[in-house]
Chain A
Amino acid sequence: MTHLTTDVLVIGAGGAGMYAAIAAARDGAAVLLLDKSQVGRGGATIMAQMTVAVALGEQEADSVQLHFQDTLSAGRGLCDEALAHLLCDNGPARIREMESWGTRWAREDGHIKQEMAPGHSVKRCCYVDFLNTGPAVAATLRRKVGECAAIRRVSNLAAVEILCADGRAIGALALSLADGQWVSIGAKAVILAAGGLTKLYARNSASANMGGEAYAMALWAGAELVDMEFVQFFPIGHLAPRLVGMDPIMWDPFRYKLGGKLLNGQFEEFIDRYGSSDFGKYNATRDVAAYAILKEVEAGRGTPHGGAYLDFRHIPEAELRGAFGPVIDRLAENGIDLAKTAVEVSPIAHYHMGGIRVNSNMETRVTGLFAAGEAVGGANGANRLSGNAITEAFVFGERAGASAALRIKQQAAPWNDTVATAALERLQGCCFNNSPGALTPISVQAELQKLMWESAGPFRTGEKLSVAAQRIAAMERQLPGLRIGNAGGFNLDMQDWFELRAMLITAAAIVKSALARNESRGAHQREDFPAPDDGLLKNQVVELKNDQLLSRWIAPARLQA
């Protein structure tokens, strides 16, 4: 078996992972940066076509305090204030650092251009034209990573479990996808930056590697998760007609820039019927808009494909061309002419507010195990403010890298071969069935995605969640009988199997948390408890003990006044 040794192991090479690697290397650590897909090309960052919220104050007066207050309001009282404040406070430094590394933020009149986005009280969101923010920042970070001699990159290497000894993270076991071989990695500190879990849902805007594996690896290693019930459903994900070559969440900036109308199947505006005041302003927060669209569909006022219309037909064609730029041509390639037809949109799983519980150094309760980016829970409470995700990736990535580099100077954990060998034998012994009639891991993944969408998606009930919990437990029992085959190199069945194993425990954590929260708040909407309950102004923490998921309530972390 191949064995690699490093100071800091970073699992996942999106925005947070690459930033963490750069920071750890800057602070003197040798770094091994892995990605299941390709370094700097997988995960969510590269797909972010939109904006980055940060209190630069370049467009108009702004402050960290104001960004912080907006983040807390969107979070519906459940933000971990220390993490939220860190995000807002360090955001400007990261954006300027990215600029010094070559990111060309859109500018006008000599300053970085900042736009308004829903939930923000000032124009705060910067971007790279046109819809290119994610690819542009990913390219900057890829280049910077490549320049750091202390960072070793490995693509197509999927971390499967964190190795721990004496309560400390000491490395990981990973699967090399090209040849199916196991690789052991000894590290003095480990950073989980493997992103979110939106692939658990049938309708998602996820990349292939967002099945919640960071959360599963954290649980198995003995770390805690927090706020797992808060999955963000992006209200106006593209639904129809079929649109390829574009992120399905692309419509948002155009909607509020141009005033795209959100209409029901009868071409009526409807958001104001759900306690918002969106007409003409387009500033309803994501949770309200998602709820309103699905309620209209439920009432029989949906569009042919079961969503709402997004209508730009009232905008003059020249203005459309000016705002959409080259994107208008990509739409035309898909047969979409916004001057003539409204497109159909509906909610889509987009982001996870919950995640791995960390302190403000990004360290979990397992010494030497850190998290960064979307994998971290708490900063965004019950609902994330538009534009905070990339900021969070940079800020938490930098903080995790710096903290990990510091940790290994304080105390280095020794490698433990016995622990690694035992873990490897257990993983290799996972019973793989080759009989042609057996179910495949990918077909069970599809069943899980459907189940999560219908039972633990934008609308939930206690009854549906209970059934989902039982079904997930049954799927876990199915795991040993699923077909892997012996296909040779690039065995996706095997990759799917380990991914499914992680998806199932992550799904179970969501369902358990959603079932216990008998109220509706932010992204968590219970039809059997439609109102918020101030008695539940608390966070839920989930941990794994003797193979059982346990949850408990804690008071939200408030900043000292």
Chain B
Amino acid sequence: MAMAPANKTATLHIRRGAPGAAIRYDDFQVPYEEGMSVLDALRWIREHLDSSLAIRYSCVNANACKTCMALVNGEVEYTCTAKLSPDRTIVEPLPKRPLIRDLVTDVIGDDEKL
């Protein structure tokens, strides 16, 4: 279960906030490991730096649930398969969905809502 020791850090530049608030970006530094995904980094941030970061995912790693989409460096990607850049990665919420908060948008169909 040991991960190779991280001696390199990558930066994530993440859009934060709820609808109506001023646009804000936060920078986070995470230990970089070759091959890691953007979701790996987002989950690391929640555990170690800022647990209030809102993200959406379910299957974690398998790319089976298809719920972890966000804008990665301007492209729509599954964060679980998008490779983290060893340098800087920009992560933003999906642009065409109503924003809930941070990287979470409303992707739930109307027939699955309260």
Contacts and interface: CB of A to CB of B under 8 A. Distances in A.
A183 B60 contact: no
Given A42-B65, A247-B64, A47 B101 contact: no
B81 A244 contact: yes
A504 interface: no
Given A157-B114, A446-B47, A41 B1 contact: no
B54 interface: yes
B51 A41 contact: no
A236 to B, nearest CB: 14
Contacts of A176: 114
Nearest to A482: B51
A244 B40 contact: yes
Interface in A32-60: 37-39, 41-43, 46-47, 49
Contacts, number: 143
A134 interface: yes
Q: Give the secondary structure class of B's interface.
A: loop
A485 B18 contact: no
Contacts of B113: 154-155
B73 interface: no
Contacts of B85: none
A38 to B, nearest CB: 6
B92 to A, nearest CB: 16
B55 A38 contact: no
Contacts of A435: none
Contacts of B56: 490
Interface in B97-114: 100-102, 104, 106, 108-109, 111-114
B1 A248 contact: no
Mostly, the A contact residues are loop
A277 B36 CA distance: 37
A153 interface: yes
Contacts of B2: 305-306
Interface string B1-44: 11110000000000000100000000000000111110110000
A154 B108 CA distance: 9
A244 B52 contact: no
Which 8 A/B pairs are nearest by Cβ-Cβ distance? A242-B35, A440-B51, A245-B81, A247-B62, A37-B58, A245-B63, A155-B112, A490-B54
A203 B65 contact: no
Contact of B18 (A156, A203, A306, A488): A488
A492 B104 CA distance: 11
Interface residues on A, range: 35 or more
B52 A493 contact: yes
B70 interface: no
Contacts of A119: none
B81 to A, nearest CB: 4
B58 A487 contact: no
Nearest to B78: A245
Contacts of B78: 245
User: B46, B62, B102, B111 — which one has the most chain A CB atoms within 10 A of its CB?
Assistant: B62
26 contacts: A37-B58, A38-B67, A39-B112, A43-B58, A46-B62, A134-B64, A154-B112, A155-B109, A157-B114, A203-B1, A207-B58, A244-B39, A244-B81, A245-B37, A245-B78, A246-B63, A247-B61, A247-B64, A248-B61, A443-B51, A453-B1, A485-B52, A489-B100, A492-B53, A492-B55, A493-B52
A38 B36 CA distance: 25
A496 interface: yes
A245 B100 contact: no
Interface string A306-330: 1000000000000000000000000
B80 interface: yes
A489 B99 CA distance: 10
A442 interface: yes
Contact of B46 (A43, A153, A492): A492
A463 B111 CA distance: 52
B88 interface: no
A335 B35 CA distance: 8
**Which of A38, A43, A496 counts the most chain B CB atoms within 10 A?**
A38
A306 B1 CA distance: 7
Contact of A155 (B40, B54, B59, B108): B108
Contacts of B101: 487-490
Given A208-B60, A487-B54, A493-B52, 17 more contacts: A38-B65, A41-B66, A46-B65, A47-B59, A135-B64, A154-B113, A209-B58, A244-B39, A244-B40, A245-B78, A305-B4, A306-B2, A334-B35, A489-B101, A491-B52, A492-B46, A492-B51
A300 interface: no
Contacts of A42: 58-59, 65
A47 B57 CA distance: 13
